[in-house]
Amino acid sequence: MGKTILCHCEDVEVEEVYSALEQGFADLETLRRYTGIGTGKCQGKCCLVQTLRILASLARTNAAETKPLTGDPLLIHLPTIRPPVLPLRIADIVEAGETAVAHDKPRIEEERS
């Protein structure tokens, strides 16, 4: 009775992806949040590409009987990657002594999600 672990941080098995798709969570962003894949400490470093491979193969064979509740079916893309890239200890930030200076605003007012 072995398990095939997809997300090591949140202990999510491969079967859960198929189960979530059946329940209608087809958009990667909602699939992630619903199953927990890629939302743990490593933020998807160990599991994202394997998840995308599954979605890509389903999209190719059209084998997914998805009832999209929450998104377009099986878009293959990276979720929004946010800082910090590695876990960053709060005491380290505070003791670094950086003070908030001028406001960081991007010069280009593009919308980013």
Residue owning tokens 């491969």: 14
Residue owning tokens 């999510």: 12
The least distance separating another protein from the CB of residue 91, rounded to whole angstroms, comes to: 3
The least distance separating another protein from the CB of residue 58, rounded to whole angstroms, comes to: 12
Question: Binding to another protein by residue 19, rule CB under 8 A?
Answer: yes
**Subset of residues 39 to 98 that bind another protein, contact rule: CB under 8 A:** 40-43, 45-46, 48-50, 52-53, 56-57, 68-72, 76-78, 80-96, 98
Determine the Cα–Cα distance for residues 34 and 79; give it in Å rounded to an integer: 14
The least distance separating another protein from the CB of residue 43, rounded to whole angstroms, comes to: 6
The least distance separating another protein from the CB of residue 47, rounded to whole angstroms, comes to: 9
CA 21 to chain centroid: 15
The answer to whether 64 touches 58, Cβ cutoff 8 Å, is: yes
Determine the Cα–Cα distance for residues 113 and 97; give it in Å rounded to an integer: 29
